[in-house]
């Protein structure tokens, strides 16, 4: 990998972490309004699936958001560090959500939740596992 491409991948990772932490600094009412907007966009689909408990759907949507946000983090960490530095990528997947939820503890209307840390780490770990599997398949010549 070229040095410039490696720097670009590291910058992308850092920007994504900044995005995650910026979202954590959003007050509770603003965060709820943002996910509520998405819920309203998806409402026809949710109702078509026969789900009528919109509060539960809102909670599930937020947790899916956590998982997805951290799956992206896992892919970016893999791209920045690769297989040779898997430990670094895993450390990022543990440290960032812990800091994320700690930030939320100090923001009005937000709480830091251990369950969110676990969901975040699961999203990152899932992405890293998929990247590792894809890398292994490429090495063995299978696609």
pLDDT per residue over 112-136, tens digit each? 999 999 999 999 999 999 999 999 8
CB 66 within 8 A of CB 127: no
Structure confidence at residue 69 (pLDDT): 96
Question: What does each C-alpha distance from 88 to 18, 47, 74, 79, 113 come to in angstroms?
Answer: 18, 42, 11, 12, 24
Q: pTM of the prediction?
A: 0.88
Question: What does each C-alpha distance from 74 to 6, 86, 108, 142 come to in angstroms?
Answer: 16, 10, 28, 23
Show the CA angle centred on residue 100, arms to residues 93 and 108, nearest 5°: 165
Residues of the chain with pLDDT under 50: none
Structure confidence at residue 70 (pLDDT): 97
Question: What does each C-alpha distance from 104 to 6, 26, 36, 114 come to in angstroms?
Answer: 31, 8, 19, 12
Six token digits for residue 25: 């600094």
Structure confidence at residue 140 (pLDDT): 81
Residues 6+ apart with CB under 8 A from 100: 20, 21, 24, 116, 117, 120
Tell me the C-alpha distance between 103 and 110, whole Å. 9
Structure confidence at residue 113 (pLDDT): 93
């Amino acid at each position: 990998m070229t040095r410039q491409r490696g720097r670009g991948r590291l910058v992308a990772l850092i920007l994504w972490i900044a995005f995650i932490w910026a979202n954590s600094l959003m007050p509770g009412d603003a965060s709820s309004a943002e996910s509520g907007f998405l819920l309203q966009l998806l409402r026809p689909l949710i109702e078509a699936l026969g789900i009528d408990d919109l509060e539960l759907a809102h909670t599930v949507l937020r947790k899916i958001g956590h998982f997805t946000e951290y799956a992206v983090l896992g892919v970016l960490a893999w791209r920045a560090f690769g297989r040779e530095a898997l430990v670094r990528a895993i450390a990022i997947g543990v440290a960032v959500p812990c800091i994320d939820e700690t930030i939320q503890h100090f923001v009005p209307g937000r709480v830091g939740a251990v369950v969110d840390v676990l969901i975040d780490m699961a999203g990152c770990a899932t992405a890293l596992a998929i990247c590792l599997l894809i890398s292994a398949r490429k090495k063995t010549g299978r696609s």
